[in-house]
Every structure is written in structure tokens, then in C-alpha cells.
Amino acid sequence: MKKYDVIVAGAGPIGGHVSKKIAEKNYSVAVLEKNNEIGKYLNCAGLVTQRVFEITKLSSKTIQNKISGANIHSPSNDILKIGGERVHALVIDRTNFDKEIIKQAEKKQVEVFLGKKLYFAKRNKDKIQIKTSEKEELECKILIGADGPLSKTRKIFNFPEPKEFLKGAGAEVSNVSLDPNFVEIFVGKNVAPGFFAWIISTNTSGTEARIGLCIDKNTLQPPMFYLKKFLKNKNTYPFLKDAKTTKNIAGVIPMGALKKTFTDNVLLVGDAAAQVKPTSGGGLYPGLLSANHCADVVVDSLEKNDFSSNFLKKYHKLWNKDIGKELNRGMTFRTVFKKLSDEEFDKYISKFKNPKIAEIINKYGDIDYPSKLSSPLIKKNPSILKLAKKMLKK
């Protein structure tokens, strides 16, 4: 039986990053990845902030484009233009981003096993014993579940489940016609019930894009049904009329960060812990930030030889202090958002087309910390608070 200090389930960006950070301190780390290739299935629109590069220390080579604003299309196609004055986000080649993170981990001597799924795990005398889909047996002091939204680690060790899941579908397309500096966002029950749809230019000339949408899990039709409609929608026609699909995107987004992410010898991080922004579905920044805390606490626990739940709970406290509150505020915003009718979307998008509001959005808008906007917005337009209260009661 091969023995490691730490085994990480999942070689996504969060599993790759946390494994690198622990191996840097000379502990033995193995990563199990069920797919036989890193980044095999694309599950991302690839929109992140510069902070993701500050955390990972990756070079800019996976950056495809820079975004300075958004055009938000209401159900009746009234358009609210926000931003435009500075770079707010970066568009990344997500497949190569994941590969680069794993390369960094391998440089620190992390052993990455492709095509090996974490199949079974149990605690035995302060160790975790693991069986892979290939029937190998491995042992570690700490298991980190970074195995994505439908985490097996979460199920085996009886962690709570995320509050909800969104279903997503999308595509990479060529032959499109976009302003490369702006993302196009579409809301409304016919476009993406329970969330929104997007078109994001993946090159600086606006001829290639990633399009996609997410819908509430309880929506009767599958996300592909909405994606097909999106491609033919009269509001997307100016951008997508000649679009040719080059790659499909699909995935699930967990929402509502877990109330417990540690137990004896086991931690959850990234999508496995639903460390995802409920306002945008972005999981890279909160997941990487939490992965840093996870690595620090794991290294500390290895130094002190204490893998107890009581010791590891520090991780839960740290990530909650850092980003947990922001994610919870995002869930409140989401509760309001989900209840808005198409008429209300039209009304508020039109109301927001006010230079004073645009100025506030430009000044305080931060896709990693959207709650920074709420106080200045409410001050300028108190009816937003009334609406939020009404929706929360509904």
C-alpha cells in the first residue's frame, strides 16, 4: 500500500493549487484524477479577475482577452451598459489554465495519477485508507476532497450538501461579431430561468466567444434546450447569427457554501465545498483563496501531527472569515434575483440606466466582492432595499 502525507481527490484548479502549496513544504502529496487528461471537459466561461493570477502566480500566457464592462440585456432587450473605464476581468483559456496549475504542482514533486477515481475511503486509526477505481490501495494522513460539485469525498464522509445546484450548458463559437471589451449578459425566464446567459469574447478582435447559460436545477427543460433557443434569439442575433460551435461546455454549479468543511483527517475545498459566488457562479477565486487557507492548516497539522477535527476546524474559520461572509451575502442577493419577474427585470434595468447609478457601479463594481456595491446603490436608490425586502418575504 502506497503511503502519502496528503491525498487530494480531483486535479481541477483547486486540487492542483492546494497540492502544490502543501508539497512546497516538502510533504508527500498525491492527486487522484478520474479523467485521463487534465481539463478534459470544459466547465467554465473562463471569466476571472487579476486576483486569480496573484494567488496562483501563473504567467499571463493563458489570458485570452480583457474585459472592461458589460451590456446587460433585459427580457425586452433594453440594454444597461456598465463599466468600460478600466479592466474589470480577464478571459482565460481554462483548459490550459488547469494544465499549467498541475504542471506547477508536479514541479513541486506532487504525484498526479490520471484515470484513477477516488472510489472508496475510510478512516482507520488516524489514517485514511483509499481504494481507487483501478483497485489500488493508498493511505494518507489527510484526505482533501477537491473533487468538484458532485464530490464523492463529500458523500463518503457525510458532509452537508450545497443548498442548490445550477445546470449549465455552453459552447465555444467562432464567426461572431462582438465588442471584445464588453460581455453581453441576458436575463429573463425565457433565456435562463433562475440565472443568466452570457456571451464573452475570447479574442481581442471579438470574432470568437464562449457563450453559455445556467438554469435552476428544477427547470423542466434541460440547459441544452435553452442554449439552442439562445443561439436563435432575436436579441443575440446581431452577435451570433453566423456562429459556428467549435467545442461544447457543460457543468453543474453548486451554491450555498457548506456549513462544515472539515472532519477528522478530511477537508473539502473548491466546488466540493460549494465555495462559489452565488451572484455569478464563479468558483475560481473563492476556491483558490480557500485552497490557500486549506494548505496552511494542513501543513500546520502535519507539523504538529494533529489531524483531528478540532485542529482542522481552523481551516473552516479562516476561509469563512476571508470570503464566507461575501458568499453568504451573495446567497441573499440570489434569493431576491430568483424571484424577479421579467417585468421587474425590465423595470429595474431601465431604472439603473441613470448616469449616477452607472457612476456608482463603475466605482464600486467588483465581480469578486459584489456586495461592495449594495450600500452605495441603496443610498442612491432606496427603492432597491424595499424591493429586496419584498422579495425576501415572498
Phi (first) and psi of residue 170, to 5 degrees = -170, -170
By CB under 6 A, the residues from 21 to 50 that bind ligand FAD are 32-35, 43-48
The yes or no reply on residue 281 touching ligand FAD (CB under 6 A) is yes
Closest to ligand FAD by CB, 185 vs 387, is 185
* Region from 3-11, 64-72, 157-165, 347-355 binding ligand FAD, contact rule CB under 6 A: 3-11
The yes or no reply on residue 278 touching ligand FAD (CB under 6 A) is no
Least distance from ligand FAD to the Cβ atom of residue 99, Å: 11
The yes or no reply on residue 256 touching ligand FAD (CB under 6 A) is no
Alpha helices in the chain (DSSP H): 13-23, 50-56, 94-107, 152-156, 223-232, 237-240, 284-304, 309-319, 325-339, 342-351, 355-364, 374-380, 383-393
Pick the binder of ligand FAD from 4, 5, 7, 14 (CB under 6 A). Answer: 14
* Region from 246-254, 332-340, 345-353, 382-390 binding ligand FAD, contact rule CB under 6 A: 246-254
Closest to ligand FAD by CB, 47 vs 388, is 47
Other C-beta atoms closer than 10 Å to the C-beta of 125 total: 5
d(Cα 83, Cα 178) in Å, to the nearest integer? 16
- The CA-atom distances, in angstroms, between 18 and each of 48, 161, 311, 333 are 18, 22, 18, 30
The yes or no reply on residue 330 touching ligand FAD (CB under 6 A) is no
Closest to ligand FAD by CB, 43 vs 233, is 43
The yes or no reply on residue 162 touching ligand FAD (CB under 6 A) is no
Nearest to 97 by CA among 173, 11, 183, 164: 11
The yes or no reply on residue 117 touching ligand FAD (CB under 6 A) is yes
Least distance from ligand FAD to the Cβ atom of residue 26, Å: 24
Cα of first residue to Cα of last residue in the chain, in angstroms, is 56
By CB under 6 A, the residues from 167 to 196 that bind ligand FAD are 168, 170
Closest to ligand FAD by CB, 11 vs 361, is 11
d(Cα 132, Cα 137) in Å, to the nearest integer? 7
Q: Which helix (H) or strand (E) holds 9?
A: strand 2-9
The yes or no reply on residue 270 touching ligand FAD (CB under 6 A) is yes
Nearest to 230 by CA among 203, 193, 180: 193
Closest to ligand FAD by CB, 213 vs 384, is 213
Percentages of the chain per state (helix, strand, coil), in multiples of 5: 40, 25, 35
Alpha helices in 171-282 (DSSP H): 223-232, 237-240
Nearest to 102 by CA among 44, 6, 26, 37: 37
Least distance from ligand FAD to the Cβ atom of residue 102, Å: 10
* Region from 60-68, 145-153, 186-194, 370-378 binding ligand FAD, contact rule CB under 6 A: 145-153
Least distance from ligand FAD to the Cβ atom of residue 385, Å: 29
The yes or no reply on residue 249 touching ligand FAD (CB under 6 A) is yes
Closest-approach residue to ligand FAD (CB): 283
Contact 167, 215 (CB under 8 A): yes
By CB under 6 A, the residues from 284 to 313 that bind ligand FAD are 284-285, 287
Contact 142, 3 (CB under 8 A): no
Pick the binder of ligand FAD from 5, 93, 100, 147 (CB under 6 A). Answer: 147
Number of residues that bind ligand FAD (CB under 6 A): 39
Residues lying near ligand FAD in the complex (CB under 6 A): 9-15, 32-35, 43-48, 117-118, 146-148, 152, 168, 170, 212, 214, 249, 251, 253, 270-271, 276, 281-285, 287
